[in-house]
Amino acid sequence: MHDRPKDEIRGCAMRWETRRKVAPWVAAVAVVALALPGPALANGPPIQSETAFTTGLNGAAVRSFARVMRRSGEGGEMTAFVVPVVVPYEAIDNRLVLGLGLPLLTKTLRMSDGTERSSGFGIGDLMLFGKVNLFHHDEHQETFRVAGKLGLTFPTGATRIADGTGRLPRPLQRGTGTVNPSVLLVATKLWRRFGLNADVGYTAYPEWGGVDRGDVLNYDVAASFRVLPWVFRSFPDHQLNIMLELNGAWQGSTYANDVEDPSSGGHILFVSPGLQYIYDTVLVEASFQVPVPGATSLAGDQLTPDWTALAGVRWLID
Amino acid sequence: MSSPSTRRKSRQTGMKPLALMLLEVLALAIAWSAAPAWADDGEPAVAGSIEVRGLSCPFCARGLQTKIRDLAWVADVTVYVDDGRADFTVRQGRVPEVNALQTAVRDAGFTPGTTTLRARGQVERSGSDVLLVVGEGARLVLAAGAQRDRLLDEVGSSGRSVRVEGTAQTRGERTHVTVRSYRLL
């Protein structure tokens, strides 16, 4: 399940008359529309990145969490609150997982002059995904796996929300209005009490309403360590994992009617420490993201990310 | 309230004469000695463990546990994560199917290794086969090998009960055990 930095920097071109003023905010807020987590499964770590595991679900699982994202700049600040619910299903044992996810979210843009605009709370865009195991090699107390994932996001979120001053800017809407395909390759190495995950993905954003948002190339690296139990005897046992993730993304510029938005696109990199507690069929986790100093380079005068906080639960259904 | 005749009867049968008690003890001893090896205590006649490679994801152990437990002949299962193995006990009157066990491990997302069985029963010859009777209609085939031959030499035709340990494979519908060690009971 991705806390996609790619989403964080999703650019957006403006067609309304205040476009120049609002553009930086909007570019920053756009992201939230796809704060829907990726297809990370309920079979364990990492928190913000993807896993190559396609097993352990026993048919079904549920993942949900609450995420708060904050960005700020000279003009004010943006806060997004997202609660996605993701249900993966192990369609073919150890081979294929299918799933869907639907976020509930609200986005609020508070300008420096005190003006506030909010989308209100509601559903966002629906995501369907499939993840297939491509490679699998096991040894005693270690495993290496590679998986590929295809995803499609459907525009089920509202795109015509208005407040007292008129229709909200498109990035403040809860939906994106487009069908967005994505592909991702992920590798996972687990040995003894250590885990290492790496993934790279690409998401295409088709043109809609004269706006062509830049596609996103994202990448994640996550390292985890089992703190407790020191020796994992019989299952179940109380388990505590710590992890450190790097979540990066690069996005191309946005074009509106073939004109490039100078305040769109760029690169962003987060460092994300996290904690995970697991017992039997329940996993509780928390993670905090901050941008890596010097590694974030957003074009123009977009809002810059301050932090992201996440707390959630995953539950295996027998 | 009981009648006088009932009380009298109760006195007659309520206090067991010493001879009667001794007879009961003797009968129990005979019954115990005549009982098949698989029924001589509360432990399962057959138990075992399977090596599970790739078991580095404790959260995934849940799936492994469930898939093994779903096998009809499995009475109980415990997954030992750091040891990389799953221990199981077999239902009374059943024998483990190693191929099904390995499939369950694969379906759970791991790679099965060696399956080891510990079985208690009586050695029986059937044609060229040497069988270990572990329950009513439940038989394991003792595969040819030096340890099995030693076992046969010791058991002879006495039909003694033994406890064997060895690696297991299922060929066709029969589970074969290559004896690594044994103990006469």
Q: What is the pLDDT of residue A11?
A: 37
- Per the CB < 8 A criterion, the answer to whether A145 and A193 are in contact is no
User: What is the reported pTM?
Assistant: 0.78
Q: Phi, psi at residue A273, to the nearest 5°?
A: -75, 150
Q: Which has the closest alpha carbon to B91: B77, B102, B112?
A: B77
Distance of CA B35 to the CA centre of its chain: 14
**What's the CA gap between A54 and A270, in Å, rounded?**
26
Chain A residues whose CB is inside 8 A of the B56 CB are 141-143, 190-192, 195
Q: Where are the alpha helices (DSSP H) in B49-184?
A: 58-69, 98-107, 146-155
Structure tokens at B149: 């031959």
Q: Is B95 on the interface with A (CB under 8 A)?
A: no
Domains of chain B: 38-184 (3.30.70.100)
Are residues B56 and A190, on separate chains, in Cβ contact within 8 Å? Answer: yes
Are residues A56 and B62, on separate chains, in Cβ contact within 8 Å? Answer: yes
**What's the CA gap between A313 and A66, in Å, rounded?**
9
Q: What is the pLDDT of residue A317?
A: 79
Half-sphere exposure of A112 (CA within 13 A, CB side): 9
The gap between the terminal CA atoms of chain A, to the nearest Å, is: 21
Task: Tell me which residues of chain A have a pLDDT lower than 70.
Answer: 1-45, 56-60, 318
Q: Is B90 on the interface with A (CB under 8 A)?
A: no
Q: What is the pLDDT of residue B28?
A: 52
CA dihedral A172, A177, A178, A180 (to 10 degrees): 40
Averages of pLDDT over runs of 10 residues in chain B (185 residues) are: 43 55 60 48 82 85 90 94 92 91 93 94 86 87 87 78 91 89 87
Instruction: Name the closest residue on chain A to residue B86, using Cα atoms.
Output: A234
- Per the CB < 8 A criterion, the answer to whether A98 and A84 are in contact is no
- Per the CB < 8 A criterion, the answer to whether A289 and A306 are in contact is no
- How distant, in Å, are the alpha carbons of A9, A49, A68, A166, B4 from that of A1? 17, 6, 15, 35, 82
- Per the CB < 8 A criterion, the answer to whether A90 and A97 are in contact is yes
Angle between helices B58-69 and B98-107 (to 10 degrees): 140
- Per the CB < 8 A criterion, the answer to whether A36 and A127 are in contact is yes
**What's the CA gap between B101 and B67, in Å, rounded?**
9
Q: What is the pLDDT of residue A311?
A: 96
Q: Which of A140, A281, A282 to mutate to test the interface with B (most CBs of B within 10 A)?
A: A140
Q: Assign domain A5-317 one CATH number from 2.40.160.40, 2.70.98.40, 3.40.50.300, 3.40.1360.10.
A: 2.40.160.40
- Indicate the domain borders of chain A: 5-317
Chain A residues whose CB is inside 8 A of the B58 CB are 44, 226, 232, 235-237, 239, 278
Q: What is the pLDDT of residue A136?
A: 92
- Per the CB < 8 A criterion, the answer to whether A146 and A200 are in contact is no
**What's the CA gap between B61 and B67, in Å, rounded?**
10
Are residues A237 and B58, on separate chains, in Cβ contact within 8 Å? Answer: yes
DSSP assignment letter at A113? T
ipTM: 0.75
**What's the CA gap between A209 and A112, in Å, rounded?**
29
Q: What is the pLDDT of residue A173?
A: 87
**What's the CA gap between A99 and B48, in Å, rounded?**
36
The C-alpha R_g of chain A, in whole angstroms, comes to 19
Structure tokens at B64: 């492994």
Q: Which of A53, A231, A235 sits opposite B79 (nearest CB)?
A: A235
